[in-house]
Structure formats: C-alpha cells, structure tokens
Amino acid sequence: MIQDNPLLAPMSSLIDYAAVKPEHLEPAISALIADSRQAVEAGARPDLPATWEAIVEPLEDVTEKLWRAWSVAGHLNAVVNTPELRAAYNQCLPQVTEFSTWVGLHTGLYAQYKRLHAAADFKQLTPVRQRIIELALRDFRLGGVELEGEQRSRYAELSDSQAKDSQKFSENVLDSIDRWSLLLTEASRLAGLPADVREAARSAAQADGHAGWKLVLNMPCYLPVMQYAQDRSLRQDMYRAYTTIASEYGDPELDNSALIERLLALRAEEAALLGYGSYADLRLETRMADSPAQVLDFLRELAGKAKPYATRDLAELRQFALEQFGLAELKPWDIPFVSERLRESRYAYSEEEIKQYFTEPQVLKGLFQVVEKLFGVKLQPSEAAVWHADAQAFQVISTDDRVLGTLYMDLYARQGKQSGAWVDSERNRRRIGQAIQTPVVYLTCNFSRAQPGKPALLTHDDVITLFHESGHALHALLSQVDDPGASAFASVEWDAIELPSQFMENFCWEFSVVQALSAHVDTGQALPRALYDKLLAARNFQSGMQMLRQVEFSLFDMGIHHQAQGLSIQAVLGLLDQVRQEVAVLFPPSWHRFPHNFSHLFAGGYGAGYYSYKWAEVLSADAYSAFEEHSGEAADGQPRDTLDPATGRRFLTEILAVGGSRPAAESFKAFRGRAPAIDALLRHSGMAQASL
C-alpha cells in the first residue's frame, strides 16, 4: 500500500491526482509524520555542527514531503469533497496538528536555531538564510516554545482544538450551501434571469429527476438571481437563505454559533499564554502593521474618506428605486437588483451584455499574453493528471525554454467544492545542489460552467477575480528564492501578501488588455470601444459603498480579536452592530448572520488580518501607478499602453522574485523608490478628494 501510494511520490515528480483515493491519506501522512519526527530529533542533536547544511537542509529534505502530501490532501478536501475524503482528512488532521505543535514546542530544535544565529559564521550565510533563521526564532517564540509545565500542555491543546474547530466551521458552511435548494415549477418566477442561468437551473433540476428549475446558493446561481430576478419574493427567499448560512436559522447540526464562540475564546487564551493582551496583538507580530491601534486608525481614515461617497451612492439608489419601481423602502434583497438597473440606466449596458464577450478560453489566452509581456514567461498546456474534469494544468516556461513551475486551474463551481476563490501551493521552489525543484501552484475559482455547445462565460468581475488570483499564483511561480523558508507564502507578511494579486486586477481596466481578453461568444469580436468606455465609466459605480463594506468587515474582525477574552455570539453580533453604526450606510435585518459564513476569519487564516486587503490595496495601487506614470500620453492624445515590459521586469525582480527573502516594505521601496502613499488608491476608487 505504501509503495503504491501517490502521495508518497518523489518530490521531483508531479502528483498523480487522478490516482489519489481517500484510503491513501492516513497511511501516507502517518508514515511521513514518523519520518519527520525522526528528522527533527536528529536535527536537534547538540553534537551537530551549528551549520545550515547540518541542521536545516536535512530537516527540509524530510518535512517538505509531509507538507506536500498534506497540501494535496487539503486541496482535494476543498475541491472534490466527499464523505469518504472528509473522513480521511479529519482522521489525519489531529496528527498533523499535533506534529506541527510538537515541532514548534521542541526546545532542542529551538536551541539549534539559537546556535545557528549565534555561530561565528552566521554573517557568512546569505541574507536570505539569515532572515530564515531569524524568522524561525520568532516563530518558535510565538509558537510557545518558551512555555513550561501546564502552560506548555495547554498550548498544545489549544492548537489542536483550533484546527478542529476551524475545519468544522468550513464543513458547516459547505454543507449548508450544498444542502439548500429551491425548486421552481412556474417559469414566470424566473423572469429577468439570464438564459444561461435558467438553463443551468433546468439542468440541475433534471439531474435530480424533477421538472422545473433548481436554484442553489453557489455564487453562479445566487448572484444572478439577486441582480436580475424580477420576482421580489424570490430574491427575498434567496437572500434569507444565503445570509443565514450555518446559523441557528438552519440545521442545528450546522450552526456555527458555538464554533465562533470557541474559536474566539481559544485565540484569546493562546494570546494570553504567550504574553499578549489580545489575539490581534499576537498576530500583528508577523505583519507590516505595528499595532491594532495603527490598523484601526488606518481603517477609520478610509471610512472617513469613503462615507460621503457611500452616502451619495445610497441616496441615488433610493431615489432611483422610488422613481422606477415605486419602492418607498429599499430592502437588502432589492439592492443588487436595483443597483444593476441603475447601472444599466446610467451607463447603458448590463453585466449580462458584457459577459457575452468574455469567454473562458479567450480570457485565459489574454491573461497569458499579459503575463508574457510583463514578465517574459509563457504558460503552456500540460498533460499532468488532474483531480476533476474541470481542472487544467499548465507549465510556466522561461524565454530560454526552461520549466519554471506548474499551475493547476480549477475554475467552475460544483457540488462538494468550497465557494470562493483562492491560491495555494503544493510544492515550493528549492535549489538542491545544482538542480532546481520548481513550484507547483493551485488556482481555484467558482465561475459558472459552460452550457452545452458553448464556452463558459465570465462576468467582468469574474475576470478581475481570475487576474487577482493569478497575481498570487505568479508570486509563487516566478520566485527566484532558493530556500523554501523564504518563499512568498511562507514568509511574506500577511498584510502584504495581497499586493501582487490586487496589482494584477488593474490591467482588467486597460483597453488593450480588455480587447485581448474578449471575443464575443457568437461573433468572435472583441469588446467594442464604445462598450468599453461605458464599462470604464462605471468602474467606480458605488465605490463608496463597496469600500465601506470592506472597512466594516475589517473593523469587525479587529474588534472581535482585540479582546482580552472570548465573546458570546450575542456579543459578537452586538459588536458588528456597533461597527455598522460607526461606519456603515446599509443595515441588514436583525436575523442576518454574516459572521457564521465568514470563513476568511474562522477557517481561512485571516483572523485579525482581514484589514490586509485594504492595507495591501494601498501598496498595489501605488505600485500600479508606476506603470501609469510610464505610459503617459502618445502623440494623438490617447493613453499609452501600461503593459510596459521594463516596468514589469522591475516588478518581477523587486516584488515577485524575492518572495519573503526581505521585509515587504523593503521590496516595495526597492520597486517604487519610496514608501507607499494612499493617493493612488483614492484616485483609482474615484475618491481623490477627501469629501464631496
């Protein structure tokens, strides 16, 4: 069994995903943990010389096999979830958590890193290896290595409980979404819905053996219903179902209330054990931001600049709703529908019209062209085995035809797949002697799948999401860091990790890029200039409300984690109401249960870190302005192309290629020549002035 286990494939080969079965997980993970324990004990021997080659390299040789296998298991559990796979994953989770905690608490290994740091030849190491050792010492301290006795045992218990509760939170969200559906038998209730959404709903019902149309809570169904369904009661039903996911209003077994309470209590206790006043204080030890107070000041500054625009946005929406639909009171389930009608009225286009131009094959072709022009690499289809028919594999090829990495894409929503969009890595770049182990990266989205005889169609927001995730992927794929401990996902500060992703979004608004991305599903024509101008004019449509929404989420996150102890679910909801009273212009019903579906905070690693999106957006907007400054104006008065290869190569060299080998602030300054400024973000958001 062990010999034939695809999770135990050599690091130099790709995983045969088609061959991985649930029964492979436990034997592989158990064997790799056993090997890794031996390697840790061997690396902790005090008689070893205090050198990188004697301590760090042998440990990496063994443990990277474990983390590769566990990454594969976690990825499959997220994208092809079955009861058997979930059970196998959950059987392994306590083992992995216990091992990870054990390593972090290993005083012998900690002593070895202290020896490395104190060694006479420490300064002879490369700056990257010096940084890895310094970060390891920090992480040991934050991992509880200096705790003793009962506190040490309690820390291990906390780690195990948090891992289990986060996994259960994620499962409850997935199951709540997958178990809910609404079967409609009257065609009139679908009035206004795009044809592809109706067809997908009809096919879903047919697959269940029913006539009619089956609506679900996955985004490719939910969002079009909210934007286009003329039936107000249908929108209300869908809204209530979505905003009460995994709460007390559904299946009691899937209610995340108790998990939220436990996770907050466990996190606060962890912080106290380590000597911090709150979990937020603890987490910011590894961020660019210095303190919760600095983060709160930053968020409130953004809120102050955005609120006048948001107030105007909402007033215009209410006036339009009253005049066009006779809605004296704008309900939350009306807002997406009325907003889309206002957009159509003001800018004379609809998202449905735009979507016809963005076919998935053409969007990928255009994305790959952008990557090639900016960074000098090609993405070519690969025959690598994949886990589902939706998934595709690509090789990243250099100008001299070297394989730099492998990218897997899984773009469509389906049953048993977690919602959202994300990137993760299976394997990091690593130099082993004269050879280079190339990175392997997953890019996952949840777009609407193709209907029979047609390519899949993407909204412009989908295109932006794809570019966003491609920025994350490129951060790993284009790394020139030879040591995995300084790879992007291992050591870039969390509040800077969104810089490459948000940076890439900007190109989705450039006419030359949009033309390359677009080919009408029926005519093959690129998006016309007139329609592009309307799209661009609407870029900052309701940008005030959108920014306030992100600030609201971020303040809520910081609020619940900047506490000396846990909170009851009533206190959590009360704090959310306080945040809304401070910054929001939109107020949902009292039964709205947004926190119960906030996987970023409770299952995705963003606890006390959601502000990172806005923080990194300052960095990304400022970085992109370097491309704008280069473009200038051509002789005919038209803007030049921002796809400047020279600036792109500098971004590659100073941001992408260096990963976490130096602090993010240094990388930004190396690229931009100065510290970041907020001006570009406000300008890109249509908020160049502090007030209206």
- Please give the Cα distance from 341 to 324 (Å, whole number): 9
The residue with tokens 């039964």 is 591
Question: What would the 3-class secondary structure string for 187-222 be?
Answer: HHHHCCCCHHHHHHHHHHHHHCCCCCEEECCCHHHH
Q: How far is CA 407 from the centre of its chain?
A: 16
Our answer to whether residue 469 is catalytic in this structure is: yes
Nearest Cα residue to 170 out of 88, 90, 92:
90
- Number of neighbours of residue 688 by Cβ within 10 angstroms: 11
What token pair was written down for 647?
């600036």
Query: Is residue 681 classed exposed, middle or buried when 0-12, 13-18 and 19+ CB atoms within 10 A define those classes?
Result: buried
Question: What would the 3-class secondary structure string for 378-429 be?
Answer: EEEECCCCCCCCCCEEEEEECCCCCEEEEEEEEEECCCCCCCCCEEEEEECC
Q: Which of 469, 493, 498, 510 is catalytic?
A: 469
DSSP bridge partners of 427: 440
What are the Cα distances from residue 604, in Å, to 260, 474, 690? 13, 20, 33
What token pair was written down for 222?
């939910």
**First and final C-alpha spacing in the chain:** 68
- Please give the Cα distance from 359 to 363 (Å, whole number): 6
Nearest Cα residue to 292 out of 559, 17, 91:
559
Query: DSSP secondary-structure letter at 445?
Result: E
- Please give the Cα distance from 661 to 162 (Å, whole number): 29
Nearest Cα residue to 316 out of 538, 542, 539, 536:
542
What token pair was written down for 151?
């506190």
The residue with tokens 């284009």 is 478
Cβ neighbours of residue 186 under 8 Å, at least 6 residues apart? none
Question: What would the 3-class secondary structure string for 616-661 be?
Answer: HHHHHHHHHHHHHHHHCECCCCCECCCCCHHHHHHHHHHHHCCCCC
- Please give the Cα distance from 628 to 641 (Å, whole number): 9
Nearest Cα residue to 554 out of 601, 498, 618:
601
Q: How far is CA 233 from the centre of its chain?
A: 33
Q: Determine the angle formed by the axes of helices 83-104 and 149-179, rounding to 10 degrees.
A: 160
The sign one gets for the Cα dihedral 203, 209, 210, 214 is negative
Residue pair 172/211 in contact (Cβ under 8 Å)? The answer is no
Three-state secondary-structure class, residue 663:
coil
Nearest Cα residue to 121 out of 109, 133, 107, 138:
133
Q: What is the CA radius of gyration of the chain?
A: 25
Three-state secondary-structure class, residue 182:
strand
Number of helices (H), then strands (E), in the chain = 27, 9
Give me the active site residues, please.
469
